[in-house]
Chain A
Amino acid sequence: MSLFAIISDAAASASDAAASLSPILAWKPFLQPAPNAQHWWWLLLIPMSIGVSLAYKAIRVENLNQLPRETLRMAAQIVFGMIGLALALYVLVILILPHLPAE
């Protein structure tokens, strides 16, 4: 590969990266929906699980000194439970269902 081709590839990659960043740089938080949410929506499981756990454990724990530990434990249970459900559904839909007879 010639030096020119390498430089051209690098320039194209940089251009693609800049193009992918431009929606984020132009984003107006709280006014405009978050850009490219279809690519990272699954990461919202983390703030969701922490928020639900914190609000729930805040009214359930007897001793508030246990709140951080209990919150993290419940959040982890939610996240790993979701991962387990995802794996189970993957096995069912991708691995088992295609092998079943059509009728």
Chain B
Amino acid sequence: MPTAKETTPLQPVAAIAGWVFPGLGHIVNGNIRRGIAAMAGVLLLFVTGVLVGGVDAIDRKEDGLWFIGQAACGPIAFAVDSANTAFLKSGSAAPMIPLPPSVLNPQPQASAFKGLAHANEFGTFLAFLAGLMNACVILDALVRAPRSDGAAGSAMRGRRADDASPTVSANTSAGGAA
């Protein structure tokens, strides 16, 4: 009898799509409802983080360790980081404020819109959390059977292909019993 691992190969295209945009990996594989739900969860965290902390919540250079987790959200994290550089660090969105000089930088400056304290901390943290959750979603897209999200996938039982609709499952069970 074949094992579930043999019946459902890994889905690298779905994993890559899941990184390109949260939830897209499931949608590409035909698990549309599951992909939309995962997308909603990850984007709720990400958008809330950027809303609270501003685009400064994602900063590849100043918050490099946080950005490692945030980058799991995919290009949207890099886009917000680019917006941070383009609008805040360039001074185009708000005037630059001089900071106390240091040894490394004798004339440091920061945007007047730079996030500080709670706003910056929670914005950064929520975007980081979105990245971690999207990493989980990507791993699930990698191992989940294609089109296992409803009637079309009811015949494709395999690894993680366990989310067929209850109607289809009930009909299948009834038919098997008969």
Contact = CB atoms under 8 A, between A and B. Distances in A.
Chains A and B are bound partners: yes
Contacts of A51: 41-42, 44-45, 48, 126, 129-130, 133
A48 B33 CA distance: 21
Contact of B134 (A44, A50, A55, A57): A55
Nearest to B112: A32
Q: How many residues of B sit at the interface, in one of the four size bands?
A: 35 or more
B137 A58 contact: yes
Given A32-B113, A63-B165, A54 B40 contact: yes
Given A30-B54, A31-B87, A52-B129, A59 B166 contact: no
Contacts, number: 118
A37 B48 CA distance: 13
A30 B49 CA distance: 9
Most-contacted residue by chain A among B55, B94, B119, B126 (CB, 10 A): B119
A33 interface: yes
Q: Which 5 A-B pairs have the closest CB atoms?
A: A55-B41, A54-B41, A33-B119, A58-B37, A51-B45
Interface of A: 28-34, 37-38, 41, 44, 47-48, 50-59, 61-65, 67
Interface of B: 23, 33-34, 37-38, 40-42, 44-45, 48, 50-57, 87-88, 93-94, 113-120, 122-123, 126, 129-130, 133-134, 136-137, 140, 144, 149, 162-163, 165-166
29 contacts: A31-B87, A32-B94, A33-B114, A34-B51, A37-B117, A37-B118, A37-B119, A37-B122, A44-B48, A44-B122, A47-B44, A47-B45, A47-B126, A48-B45, A51-B41, A51-B129, A53-B41, A54-B41, A55-B134, A56-B133, A58-B38, A58-B41, A59-B137, A59-B140, A62-B162, A63-B166, A64-B34, A64-B149, A64-B165
